[in-house]
Structure 1
Amino acid sequence: MSSLGAFLNPIKTENKEVIVSNRFVEKGKSVPFVIRAISQEENKQLIKKFTRRDKNDNEIFDRVEYVSELTSRAVVFPDLKNAELQKAYGVLGESALLQKMLYIGEYAKLAQAVQELSGLDEDINDNIEEVKNE
């Protein structure tokens, strides 16, 4: 039987650089986004935030806003909270900034990288249903 040491000292998941676009260039090189993994605790909070009940007591989950906030929370660089950056794109908020900055394919690439880094290699819908049923 193994000791608890492995659970007390897990290997830290490193931040990951992801080039989602060749439009963000500095000194002739594409500048990567830097992302971090999202914990299950954060994920559960997001699922709760974007799940509501309608007047018939049916559960409604806003998947688009969930993925949007999940993705924006994972971005370490550029600093999506930066007021100057938000002002330059004419938006308020990290999620709105990211959506304004990126084309659809770029956004999808970033969202996929966040999900993979966070361990969502399988269908994200299965994970959402699992958390909602807890």
Structure 2
Amino acid sequence: MSKFNAFMKGNVKETETVKLKLDRFPEPIELRPLTAGEADKINEHCFVNKPGPKGKMERVFDVVKYNRGINTASIVYPDLNDAALQESYGVRGAENLFSEMFYLGEAAQILEKVTEISGIGGSLNEDIEEAKNS
């Protein structure tokens, strides 16, 4: 038997979703933790090229886009990809729906819970700086 048996996919404990009650909504939203690979893919899409000193283009990390991507990817319920839900807010796309549906404070609560259940310890700003430098 492999000495790594405890780490084989079939032996890993399934993670459960976590409910987060936001005051404005009658039902809680459900969140799931994100894997490192999912966070990496979100991270890859959060760099933009902007003119820097002397007009030279620089890659700049968009923290807002990263946080929005993490929040959107972690929400299991309600389904932010649901066309009827998007239509009710007059938007298309999960990230646009997230922007319209949640207030700034609610987005911060979601981000805090997502980082907690995904096992990110320490300061979120430290994690963002690390993501920028990777």
Interval containing the TM-score (normalised by the shorter chain): 0.7 to 0.9
Q: Hey, what's the Cα distance between the residues in 2 that align with 1:3 and 1:124?
A: 35
Equivalent position of 1:28 in the other structure = none
Name the % identity: 33
State the TM-score, normalizing by the size of structure 2.
0.83
Equivalent position of 1:81 in the other structure = 81
Contact 1:47–1:128 at 8 Å: present in 2 too?
no
Equivalent position of 1:48 in the other structure = 44
4+ residue segments displaced more than 4 Å? 131-134
Q: Hey, what's the Cα distance between the residues in 2 that align with 1:133 and 1:102?
A: 29
RMSD (Å) for aligned C-alpha atoms = 2.0
Structure 1 unaligned regions, length at least 5? 26-30
1:41 maps to amino acid: G
Structure 2 unaligned regions, length at least 5? none
1:10 maps to amino acid: V
| SS of 1:58 mapped into structure 2 | strand
Residue pairs, 1:94-105, within 5 angstroms: 94-105=94-105
State the TM-score, normalizing by the size of structure 1.
0.83
Equivalent position of 1:33 in the other structure = 29
Q: Hey, what's the Cα distance between the residues in 1 that align with 2:101 and 2:133?
A: 35
